[in-house]
Amino acid sequence: MRIAIYGAGSLGTILGAYLTKGGVEADLITRNKEHIAALQANGAKVVGKAEFTVPVKALLPSEMTGKYDIIFLLTKQLENNSVATFLKQYLAAKGMLCTMQNGLPEPDLIEILGKGRVCGCTIGWGATRQGPGISELTSEKDSLTFSLGMIEDPDKKGLEEIATILRNMGTVEIDSNFLGARWSKLLINTAFSGMGTVVGSTYGDVVDNKRARSLALKIMKECIDTTQALGVTIEPIQGKDIVKLFNYSGPIKRWISFHLIPLAMKKHRTIKASMLQDIEKGKKCEVDSINGVLSEQARKAGIPTPINDKVIDIIHRIERDELRPEMGNLELFEK
């Protein structure tokens, strides 16, 4: 079985390192020549919550040959159309592309690759690339979880094959309600990646700042209200029923939910949003594919999302160099 990790940046490097460590050969592929050179010369170095270095096979997209049975996709969604079109020639006749991207990327990928060729995987851990060939695991090792599934009729055999591979890194669940699992991850990303990008800091810093935490909770509520209006059941995350924990209807339940957030996010405090990492590198980020998806779906359901909408506006202003990602941006929510 030939396996590719396409878009082997922070997350993909760690995934590739764990798979290789577990005896699964995978090609780590990215356009970053400096990163590829370091991986080829020194192997993949994992730091942070885990510490190890392992030799890996790394190559540029131009060096790809043959067909792959499984391609794990970790590129930004901004280029999904061109990336999926490019990868189509390298996907085996019965191969599967497994998107590990945020948001709801499956429908557009299915349009290009065809039905039965795309599955999705939500990741319960975070990473930050620290330099060429080096990636920091920013979640505790007991948070190395994957939720796997398809938004169409599932290929159970294909999903189990992918699950077997991913179990070399952590716990894998195959979700029959994968759309609900997607929304679970979207709830966390819109709230904490969104606010983390606005304030220019980690999930932990969002939690510690009471104003930022309160805004994150409001975004979670906007997400829950949207899914309920759409008839989507949000799946638990790592055994936690996030709807039960954070769906408040009055001041007492809201107070309880607010004070539960530090406990719920304890293992993920050092995560820095990939959106913020992109902005720090001078790149456009995926806010429209993450927070933008929530606002788009909420409009269809007739649910107002003023806090999430403001997050989108602020992040776009940051991209245009009108603002900097900093705690002072919290004052903009008062206007």
Distances (CA, A) of 196 to 182, 267, 268, 272, 311: 20, 16, 12, 7, 10
Give residue 73's pLDDT: 98
Q: Is residue 148 domain-shared with residue 187, that is, in the same domain?
A: no
Q: Is residue 167 domain-shared with residue 222, that is, in the same domain?
A: no
Which amino acid is present at 53? T
Instruction: Single out the residue in 143, 176, 209 at which a domain terminates.
Output: 176
Domains of the chain: total: 2
Residue 151 above 90 pLDDT?
A: no
Q: Is residue 234 domain-shared with residue 285, that is, in the same domain?
A: yes
Instruction: Single out the residue in 129, 144, 176 at which a domain terminates.
Output: 176
Q: Is residue 136 domain-shared with residue 197, that is, in the same domain?
A: no
Mean pLDDT of all residues in 166-193: 94
Euclidean distance between CA atoms 76 and 231, whole angstroms: 28
Predicted TM-score (pTM) of the model is 0.85
Q: What's 156's domain CATH number?
A: 3.40.50.720
Q: Is residue 132 domain-shared with residue 229, that is, in the same domain?
A: no
Euclidean distance between CA atoms 264 and 237, whole angstroms: 10
- Could you report the per-residue pLDDT of 56-97, keeping only the tens digit for each? 999 999 999 999 999 999 998 889 999 999 999 999 999 999
Q: Is residue 143 domain-shared with residue 219, that is, in the same domain?
A: no
Quickly tell me which residue has 């190890």 as its tokens: 52
Per-residue DSSP letters for 33-89?
A: HHHHHHHHHH-EEEEESS-EEE--EEE-GGG--S-EEEEEE-S-GGGHHHHHHHHGG
For residue 303, give its domain range.
180-334
Instruction: Single out the residue in 129, 159, 176 at which a domain terminates.
Output: 176
Angle at 260 between CA 258 and CA 262, to 5 degrees: 95
Q: What's 236's domain CATH number?
A: 1.10.1040.10
Q: Is residue 146 domain-shared with residue 291, that is, in the same domain?
A: no
Q: Is residue 151 domain-shared with residue 285, that is, in the same domain?
A: no
Distances (CA, A) of 90 to 67, 69, 191: 5, 9, 36
Give residue 162's pLDDT: 97
Q: Is residue 39 domain-shared with residue 171, that is, in the same domain?
A: yes
Give residue 155's pLDDT: 80
Give how far the C-alpha of residue 262 lies from the chain's centroid of Cα atoms, to the nearest Å. 20
Asked if 19 and 165 count as a contact pair (C-beta separation under 8 A), the reply is yes
Euclidean distance between CA atoms 289 and 307, whole angstroms: 17
Of 156-160, 164-168, 208-212, 318-322, which range is least confident?
156-160
Q: Is residue 330 domain-shared with residue 310, that is, in the same domain?
A: yes
- Could you report the per-residue pLDDT of 192-246, keeping only the tens digit for each? 999 999 999 999 999 999 999 999 999 999 999 999 999 999 998 878 899 999 9
Give residue 153's pLDDT: 79
Q: Is residue 97 domain-shared with residue 232, that is, in the same domain?
A: no
Asked if 237 and 125 count as a contact pair (C-beta separation under 8 A), the reply is no
H or E stretch including 96?
strand 91-99
Q: Is residue 160 domain-shared with residue 13, that is, in the same domain?
A: yes
